[in-house]
Amino acid sequence: MRASLPMYDLPALRAAHGRFWRLLRGRLVDVGIDAPVALTPDGIGPAFWTAPDLVFSQTCGMPYRTQLLGKVQLVGTPDYGLPGCPPGYYASHLIKRQKDSRQTLADFAGATAALNDTGSQSGFAALVTAMTAAGITFGNAFVTGAHAASVEAVANGTADIAAIDAVTWQLLSTHTETCAGVETFAQTDPTPGLPYICSLSVDPQQVHTATAEAIDALPQADKDLLMLKGLVAIPADHYTAVPSPDPAVLGL
């Protein structure tokens, strides 16, 4: 059996993630669900998520609707209590250098955009959707491989703009120096947050109940570190209703 918590796996959070998993695993075992003692480091990607022995993981909304639909089951969506977002939803911050005088997304027509991944809801799909709504196009775009790398690209002038998951932005701002010299100037429309998932062979309702209980049982210090407020049940059709832009829109 395998499990992972890969989406917000900053070094400063790993001990808290471990404690969360121990609480969750104990509840899973109590209801007869076999679960690994330890989380799989770097347990991420379609091959891992669709493994028949997956007990628990977290994915992004875009790969869920484009690659995982019908191959995994939704367990629930963590609520991070983000301003301007319904429970369980999130948005992306649009970022720029603090010294950049541009103030609106429309001002970035022809600019260079940094993307963490073309399979990312927060770093790609949300940005393209906002760009389209603003009636602009970027002059250039490139993939950095991670939100933190996109922030660094904006900070060092390699890129002018990026869209960063609001949870990631807060965690990077709190636990690293990555965001120095960079600021947010707008926020994208909220979409369903990063869901917890399990394999088709596991009872998702049992995992949902165990997860909610584990979140409730976490010490407040760990809840604060992980930004966890609770667990929300968001229907699959709320995820599939979100647009999935073609990377070719940005020349990728």
Q: What is the pLDDT of residues 94-106, one digit of tens each?
A: 999 999 999 999 9
Q: How confident is the model at residue 180 (pLDDT cuts 50, 70, 90)?
A: very high
CA distance 6 to 227: 15
Joined together, the tokens standing for residue 3 give 């499990």
Would the pTM count as exceeding 0.85? yes
CA distance 124 to 117: 7
Rounded mean pLDDT, 26-41? 96
Rounded mean pLDDT, 25-44? 96
Q: What is the pLDDT of residues 123-172, one digit of tens each?
A: 999 999 999 999 999 999 999 999 999 999 999 999 999 999 999 999 99
Pair 175, 227: CB distance under 8 Å? no
**What pLDDT is stored for residue 65 in this prediction?**
97
Q: Where are the beta strands (DSSP E) in 34-139?
A: 54-58, 73-79, 89-90, 92-97, 112-115
**What pLDDT is stored for residue 30 in this prediction?**
96
Joined together, the tokens standing for residue 227 give 């930004």
CA distance 152 to 199: 35
